[in-house]
Structure 1
Amino acid sequence: MASILGICLDVGILKMHPFLLTYPAFLTESSTKTQTAEIGATVIFEAETEKPVKVRWLRDSKDIASSYKYTISAEGNLHSLTINNIAQEDALGYAVIAGMSKVKFELKIKESEEPKEAPPAPTGSSAPDTSGTVSDCSAPEGKYKSLPESHRPDTRQDLTGLFTEKPQSGEVNVGENITFVARVCGESLLKKPSVKWIKGKWMDLASKSGKHLQLKEHYDRNSKVYTFEMHIIAAKANFAGAYRCEVSSRDKFDSCNFDLVVHGNKNNYISTDAGEDSGELDFSALLKKRAVHVSTEPEVDVWEILQNAPPSEYEKIAFQYGITDLRGMLKRLKKMKKEEKKSAAFLRKLDPAYQVEKGHKIKLQVEVANPDAEVKWLKNGQEIHPTGRYIFESVGNKRFLTINNCTLADDAAYTCTIGEEKTVTELFVKEPPVLIVRNLEDQMVMKGERVEFECEVSEEGAQVKWEKDGVELTRDESFKYRFKKDGCKHVLIINDVTKEDCGHYRVKTNGGQSFAELMVQEKQLEVYQNIADLTVKAKDQAVFKCEVSDENVKGIWYKNGVEVKPDARTHITHIGRIHKLTIDDVKPEDEGDYTFVPEGYAFNLSAKLNFLEVKIDFVPRQDPPKIHLDCMGRTAESTILVVAGNKLRLDVPITGDPAPTVVWTKGEKAHWDWEFCAEMEDGRVHVESTKGHCIFTIEGAERQDEGVYSVIVRNPAGEDTADINVKVVDVPDPPEAPRILSVGEDSCVVQWDPPLFDGGQPVIGYVLERKKKKSYRWMRLNFDPFKETTYEAKRMIEGVPYEMRVYAVNAIGMSRPSAASQPFVPVAPTSEPTGLCVDDISDTTISLKWRPPERIGSAELEGYGVEYCKEGSDEWIPAFPSLTESTSVIVCDLPTGEKMQFRVRAYNMAGPSLPATLQQAVTIREIMQRPKIWLPRNLRQTLIKKVGETINLVIPFQGKPRPQVTWTKNDELLDPRQVSIRNSDTDTILFIRKSERKDSGKYEVQVQIENVQDRASVNIQIVDLPGPPQNLKVIDVWGFNVALEWKPPKDNGNCDITGYTIQKADKKTMDWYTVYEQYRRTNCVVSDLIMGNEYMFRVYAMNMVGLSPEPCLSKDSAYIQKTGIVYKPPSYKEHDFSEAPKFTHPLVSRSVIAGYNATLSCSVRGIPKPKITWYKNKMDITNEAKYRMFSNQGVLTLEIRKPCPFDGGVYMCKAVNDSGEDIIECKLEVRCKYMPLTKKAT
């Protein structure tokens, strides 16, 4: 028999896609994740959807196809997957996909001795009966005894994640309480973890806190363990189900599942009243109960519907079939090869979608079959009329719609129609990223104050998101957080801050983010009136009174360390800021030390109650004086400690009859034997003598009050002496300014020296603070004292200057802060330079070159350090005394014949980077080369120059040692008075400042090293304007026509005649008008002349330089006779010849050799003549001297003079006129001229 297992679709998917229904789970929701079956059994997984849509079943992320192993069936909206004859390899992860929703589940295999059978799955009904399963869960015999073994919760303690203790599954009776506890170790966490308690699969219980649910958390500083508790109070039957606890901290995440079983009747399982029980855990009222019906309609493929639908209907279809990711849907449609129907009206339709950035321009283009056809453009079904932003263009068969300065309102569907046919596209307007101009500031405030975090973004009206410790902040009911916008400023306001508000706050935009830390401290309690010592008699009233700054602070009274309880004689009152302790009918047992301790503050107020008892003792008349002390002497055990600033009170019991005289002294008796009360004049010392007591008081003890105090009592019967050792302790002195030892990408190491004076108590640690250089807020880095004197501060922002300071802490308190350290900037070293290679080498020098590092960071690059060492040695010698900013250097004074290794390091504020080294050592020796001329390609054909232009021929060559260069013209040596020649190690330059016709000819250059030589020749042609044509004659005149004839000019300007320009003029006005331009023949017919007028004619000759300076004028005139016929020329509409630029010949990617001039050519057309701009790697190079631009009859040429490998890249030519623009680009690769040769050591 087949065991039936049900799959429940995720309730979270129901929230996102309202057309997926949950299949009722007959046990717990944990069964939807893991199912267990026996080997050889058959398992059926079922899923139900509201509408009959197509679903996909996946096994281990791969599609499952129907076969003998897997049976896939669908009946209306009920889909099932049957796995037959289960084997061990079937224990994998599975998933079902409906629309854009996906639910994952697993199949586990267990071994069984006896096969168990289960009743077969019902096939006649699509809605299974779940009443039996609910009753089973409501009356369990024991803990999970009613659940099948495969559905029982997993209670194993897998502690490999963040949890140190996971919440355990439990059961409870209706009306009882239960608590679930989770613990997380915080030693390895940088901040407090965030915890979510979830019921089912989606309901966050944080919003359900109330009378039935309480969430608590606390942190143990000693063990550094976070404890999170969930208390369920007065449980109800509908609280039963599966729960999950999720904990996350930055990039770490862990979760744990557990179950709750509630024993009792479930009469009211579904709650529809959201009033009183709105804080309960019942979420079944959120689900709408629907009647499941079987549909006999065939399955529909939503993608086929989308393929055949226009883009304007995409949103409607997506909503109907539960698709929410519209952009993903458009991408998938674009990838699907959809066969477009051939349109009779459109030769080329619009693309399915376009994208443009906000503020930019976009051009939509279609191509129509009929050039005279009229098109209409529509936006979301509404016709678009031409405006300044919407421009219509028609060029031949092409129709353009240009949208200038696109805004978010232009994000719409656009349609181009011709009659009944149309083409549709979707335009997406992309907003530019919003940058944070001014960052957040760290803040440290007192509890109860108001905090404002303010930042400034690059655009007004931008959307920002505020987060606290990774959790998004929203406006809650208590108005804890308020969000304010003022133009580009965004403010987060937190009212009445508490300790729970401490943490890291972040503001995020689509283009950046900024962090700030908030620290909240308790308010300092001020004492306006301290309690005073009292001396009262029997039956009197004693009143201790004090006044503090906060009237809401409560406190506790203690007597000798024991809490005072109110009774008939003792009264405790608290009125405003005043606290009183009143004792009526004072008795001897009331004498003692009374202390008032404010709640929540680590200090106390103390005073002493002295009982003055009047009694008559019958004692002997002569009794020597006696001092009764248990702390006499100068040992460490008998030393009295007093904190500087506190009151020192020495109450010494004495006896003697008659009453003795008391004298107090300080210091060694041999030196200081004076009465203390007489010498102290500052009013801080008070001495009182009562019967049986001698009291010595110093108000506000200071460091100089430390020492040995002696008390001497005398009477006629004798004297007694006692020594009391008093030590005054204080907070330590501030340490010296800390030193920054090193900095990292987001950290620094700081060191300081201990304070010179520790206050009389050993220093137990230090507290550090940091702040940004431009800020005034100091942020504490550690709350527990740090014992070492070297500390690594982390979590800083790279590139921002900081300062540090330190406090010393002893048992008394914390010292004043030290002076601030020198400002420093956390920054990481750059990456190593790239492409280190040898450019040239000689007997004592070597030329190195490299490229900058790929990662430089926020700090500026200070330069490069070049070092070298002999092969086999570790002693690296700097090649230069300081850093160099250039990426190529020449290292001189190297030993000839030695094998040397070189390395280059980049330096910034953080220090040197990792070195870039050569792959092998280099032998310092010049390499012999035979002479070779590298004639540039443009000089291999005749060089044509105009008269007066400058001739500058740069011809590179190679050869070592330096070859001898010789120039000749037509086999004769050049005259140095007319031609300048400059030679270098690598090239030779022929320069003629102002060329003439006689400079034309064949120039030859020869390079020679001893008996080896190489030659190259260059043909130069100097051209000039041609002379005028000769012998212009009027051959014939008939009707309105005149025949002309002439002869070519004698001087053609040293180049071919390309044509003639013929002009005519009425003899009355002598205004000349051009009849023909670039006319190639030497005879022509001038037509359409006006009868009754007499005409003169002239002809200009034209070559590649231009028109001849003087024309040839006809000697005879031509008169057009009147015929009496009125001539009416036909009217015509002037044609618009304007045309947007278009490249007719593309740029061709080239690979050239370094050092030889290279050219890039293309051709463009456009009316009016477009403006041409050249770019390299999108940078304008128009004004750079390295490049020359030519334009001749639409042929564009870019000449790159002596390119080097760094001139390689992407070159782009851009043509712009009033009708539009066009862009074309190519890649240029520059190869090295030769590879350096090295000799291996023998």
Structure 2
Amino acid sequence: SELTGLFVERPESTTVIKGKNVTFVAKVDSSDLLRKPNMKWLKGKWLDLGSKAGKHVQFKETYDRNSKVYTYEMSIIKVVEGDAGGYRCEVTSKDKCDSCTFEVTVEAVQEEQPANILDAFKRSGDAGEDAGDLDFSALLKKREKKARDEPKEEVDVWEILKDAKPCDYEKIAFDYGITDLRGLLKRLKKMKKVEPKKSDAFLKKLEQCYSVDKGKRTQMHVELHDPNVQVKWLKNGVEIKPSAKYVFECVGNKRTLTINKCNLSDDAAYECVVGEEKSFTEVFVKEPPVTITKLLDDVHVVVGEKVEFECEVSEEGANVKWMKDGVELTKDGKYRIKKDGKKHTLVINEATIEDIGMYYVYTNGGESKGELEVEAKELEVLQSIADLSVKACEQAMFKCEVSDEKVVGKWFKDGVEVKPGNRIKVSHIGRYGITFLPLSSSPLNYSLSLSLSLSLSLSLSAPTSEPTRLTVEDVTDSTCALKWRPPERVGAGGVDGYIIEWCKEGEDNWVAANKEPVDKNTYRVKGLPTGEKLLFRVVAMNIAGRSPPCTMKQSVTVREIMEYPKIRLPRQLRTKFIRKVGEKINLVIPFQGKPRPVVNWLKDGEPLENKSVGIRTSDFDTILFIRSAERDHSGTYTLSVQIDNMQDKADIHIQIVDKPGPPINVMVTDVWGFNAALEWKPPKDTGNTDITGYTIQKADKKTQGWFTVYEHNRRPSCTASDLVMGNEYSFRVFSENICGLSDEVAFSKNTAIIGKTGNTLQYYTVLYPPTRSRKHARTIAVQIQYQLGISCHFSGVQSKPDHMAYPYVSEVAGSDGNHG
């Protein structure tokens, strides 16, 4: 993040009297920020005070919309001595950050000096009854009144006494009128600072405290004078045993305790014990704030439709609050709140005009808002009633279709409401109102009254009205795409189709673009002359004939292709584009082409319909962006730009990778000498990429200290050598890919026991003749397969003696030398 000056006002260092309240204020200018700034208050290096919010530490945040300044306040209620120290406030917003430090000094409450002069001669409470008598006779003498001297500057006698020599105590006490020497000495003894005794066992002790997020791991380190000494780790006074959660490591004189996947039960006091000496610390486990991973979207509906505001948060089971106009929304008849894992949904069954406004969702780590717009529902006539001509005594049927099934119409005959009877039947089926009328020979006029008025004549017959809203969707060098709406009035015969015609501007020679009527409301006219200004019109066809034409008011110029479509793919997208899970993806791909080409995206050959993948296209480039990448986003994305039959395509291969899972079935397959052979199987989850290697570690069952045997081992097997005789070893293996080591580890299902080598000892006894040998017989011990040399000396003989060596019953042949 870029370090910038975001603070308008910074908190200042202060001195507080014990028991008083103190407030620190910081102001941040957000006029240049894209997002709301995030403020953290910390004590020391790591302790986040947000986890300590309560009666003692309180936080407040306000926002001024006019000046766009956020004001953050931290209040410490009834300051204690433990609140003294260095503090830091840190503000971050996307890629900008700023921080400042300040100090808090806590002073003890100053005791008021007694106004009565007799109180100065009282003994302290620590003095005994035999401390001596006091002489008050001087107080009974008459004193001359003297003019009051100017007040002298107060002197702290105790500061003078602390720095003075013991032989000067009596003189200083006499100069400042202190008569209780015994109480003075006792108070000085309490005030003397005892210098901390240097530890004989620890070179470096534990930190004062450690702070860790829930689910993460933390490590505590100490350094010892003696690298061979044994240590104990205690939690709340209870000894900790090695396990998968608590891992002990020993490297030289450094001892490390690792706590994996911390939870709230790990928030405790810890001790490291070496002999009689101890080192204390405290671990604070804080729950990470719940953030909103999928923001609310604006919703536009009409009256009566269902509304759903949907968001996703980072943790399951999180507390989410919904609000509108500052009022919290609860589950009642109007609102429903659904929770599905990380997904939270606010449902409004039938929207009304009163529901218009801004809706907010809040968590303890973020917020999002979405606007609801509700439009009044207008009644639309989908199929109007048409004029009808029939013969006398024949049956006539009028049919009208509207957009709302709940609307009920009234029929009128020459201004008088028609009542159902034997001759007239009125029915309401869905969106249709149907009437059967046996008629006389006289022509009559009928009308239908809804929220609007429709009329018909029973004596006339005519085709439909003209189509409406004729528009141009696209123009190329030889084609033109048109779009229109159906006629407002459709005759009894309905609409059989549409005929599209064109002519050059200034002429009246209309050319039909299609021979047969088309059913759809869109059509692309082909084979147009390039560079001409053309007019278009559309005619509806039914059994009664052609409707009046719907003609465009302005001409359309058919342009030639000035520049062929071409995609200019950036260099980094020509190979596989690899990103980690959770990262943001923003691909800007320029293209060229005149007139503007049609841009289309596909994923693995299918239309791109994933809502988490956004596409934005301008006249000269297209952007594909993903706020938070997931593995499902991996695949081949195909971009195509097209002008008429000219097309250019480019494939973009995106791979989203993650850390792998642990290996499978780690086994010790063989043990020989000081070596052990290990084998395992690759992990099931490779993180959507290749496994680059494995890291193997060993641990002695006695110490449980883990040491690395191999790193980046490519094969799923290895041999651990240089093991110590007489020890039992267990092993663990991490998987590794381009994202790093796996978060989980696989432990070996069995252990390697390094036994003591060599066979039993055999004993040989050498017998010497007692009269001739200088030495008596002795016993020699040696291991099998080792070389053994036995020597003896003789005296008093003139020639070489004959000798034989007998290992129990087996004869050993003599040699020519003086040894056998």
Give the TM-score category using the shorter length.
0.3 to 0.5
TM-score when scaled to structure 1? 0.23
TM-score when scaled to structure 2? 0.32
With a CA cutoff of 8 Å and minimum separation of 6, indicate the structure with the bigger relative contact order.
Answer: 2
